[in-house]
């Protein structure tokens, strides 16, 4: 339980620092924000596509590789078959989480989409990826705490106990997954921020 408390403390502190900085510094985001969602249907179509996007899939693969190496959960085994099962689990739980966040955020117009900070120094872009792990745009386009995410992440962590391996379908494991979910989100943000730049040479060659 001490490990869980420490992880939660780190993430709560990080979120609080970023929130405080947001009140005194101009927003880092420079890309054009997409048009606000106009319907539930539009929101959920985006959520369905986002759940299997390359950026999120990269996060699933990265975290699944780590848990395969440590054989967690042990029911899946430390081999390729277990790696595949873990990716499938990550994708299913990730889809549930983003659907929850998108639906809950609709109640007050919170936008879960990530907006890149292109044109800024690398350090500012990295800060943007970290910052938008905890923040989101509201319906007026202002950057505010991602309240829907703070609700949906814990809810998703406990809901998904119903189809997880027995050793991980516990209250302790569900609590530990809460900060880890924000790590997954941060990884996805970094891919969203930098992946288009990394693949530009490939597109030029076509």
**With helix as H, strand as E and coil as C, how does the chain read?**
CHHHHHHHHHHHHHHHHHHHHHHHCCCCCCCCCCCCCCCHHHHHHHHHHHHCCHHHHHHHHHHHHHHHHCCCCCCCCCCHHHHHHHHHHHHHHHHHHHHHHHHHHCCCCCECCCCCCCCCCHHHHHHHHHHHHHEEECCCCCEEECHHHHHHHHHHHHHHHHHCCHHHCCHHHHHHHHHHHHHHHHHHHHHHHHHHHHCHHHHHCC
Lowest mean pLDDT of 9-18, 49-58, 90-99, 186-195, name the range.
9-18
User: Which domain range does residue 111 map to?
Assistant: 2-7+19-195
> Could you tell me if residue 203 is inside a domain?
no
Count of other CB atoms within 10 angstroms of residue 16: 12
pLDDT at 119: 86
At residue 3, does pLDDT exceed 80?
no
What is the per-residue pLDDT across 115-163, written as a single tens digit (0 to 9) for each? Answer: 999 889 999 999 999 999 999 999 988 999 999 999 999 999 999 999 9
> Could you tell me if residue 204 is inside a domain?
no
Asked if 50 contacts 37 with a C-beta cutoff of 8 angstroms, the reply is no
> Could you tell me if residue 202 is inside a domain?
no
In angstroms, how far is CA 198 from the centroid of its own chain? 21
> Could you tell me if residue 116 is inside a domain?
yes
Domain total of the chain: 1
> Could you tell me if residue 183 is inside a domain?
yes
> Could you tell me if residue 43 is inside a domain?
yes
pLDDT at 134: 95
> Could you tell me if residue 74 is inside a domain?
yes
Task: Name residues whose C-beta falls within 8 Å of residue 93's C-beta, 6 or more positions apart in sequence.
Answer: 156, 160
> Could you tell me if residue 173 is inside a domain?
yes
């Amino acid at each position: 339980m001490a490990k869980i408390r420490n992880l939660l403390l780190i993430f709560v502190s990080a979120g609080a620092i970023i929130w405080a900085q947001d009140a005194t510094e101009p927003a880092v985001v420079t890309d054009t924000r997409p048009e606000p969602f106009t319907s539930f249907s539009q929101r959920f179509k985006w959520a369905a596509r986002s759940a299997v996007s390359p950026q999120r899939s990269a996060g699933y693969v990265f975290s699944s590789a780590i848990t395969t190496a440590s054989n967690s959960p042990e029911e899946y085994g430390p081999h390729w078959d277990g790696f595949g099962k873990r990716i499938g689990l990550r994708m299913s739980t990730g889809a549930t989480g983003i659907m929850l966040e998108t639906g809950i955020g609709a109640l007050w117009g919170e936008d879960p989409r990530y907006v890149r900070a292109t044109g800024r120094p690398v350090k500012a872009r990295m800060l943007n990826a970290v910052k938008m792990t905890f923040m989101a745009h509201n319906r007026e386009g202002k950057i505010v705490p991602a309240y829907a995410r703070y609700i949906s992440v814990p809810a998703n962590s406990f809901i998904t106990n119903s189809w997880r391996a027995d050793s991980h379908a516990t209250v302790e494991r569900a609590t530990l997954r809460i900060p880890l979910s924000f790590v997954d989100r941060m990884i996805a943000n970094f891919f969203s921020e930098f992946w288009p730049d990394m693949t530009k040479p490939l597109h030029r060659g076509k």
